[in-house]
Amino acid sequence: AGDGLKCLYSTDAAQVGQSVTVEARKGKAVLITVPAAGFVIFENIAVPDRMKYSRSFAE
């Protein structure tokens, strides 16, 4: 798994809460849409790796 970005604010209210995945393309890259003459704020979020949580923590 990798990282993602979550929209915290946008001048397009429908965009708030949506997330995008960070892809490996000559480093890291994302594709986001910014409204014309608009503004967006994205927060870095970690996407959990399923394997990380598959082990047992019981002793």
For residue 59, is it within any domain?
no
pLDDT at res. 3: 87
CA angle 24, 30, 34 (to 5 degrees): 170
- The pLDDT confidence band at residue 56, using thresholds 50, 70 and 90, is very low
pTM above 0.85, yes or no: no
Domain assignment of residue 27, yes or no? yes
Q: How many domains does the chain have?
A: 1
pLDDT tens, position by position, 24-54 = 888 889 999 999 999 999 999 976 655 444 4
Give domain status of residue 28, yes or no. Answer: yes
In a domain, 18, yes or no: yes
Q: Is residue 44 in some structural domain? A: yes
- Residue range of the domain that includes 16: 3-53
Within a domain: 31 = yes
- What is the per-residue pLDDT for 46? 77
pLDDT of amino acid 47: 62
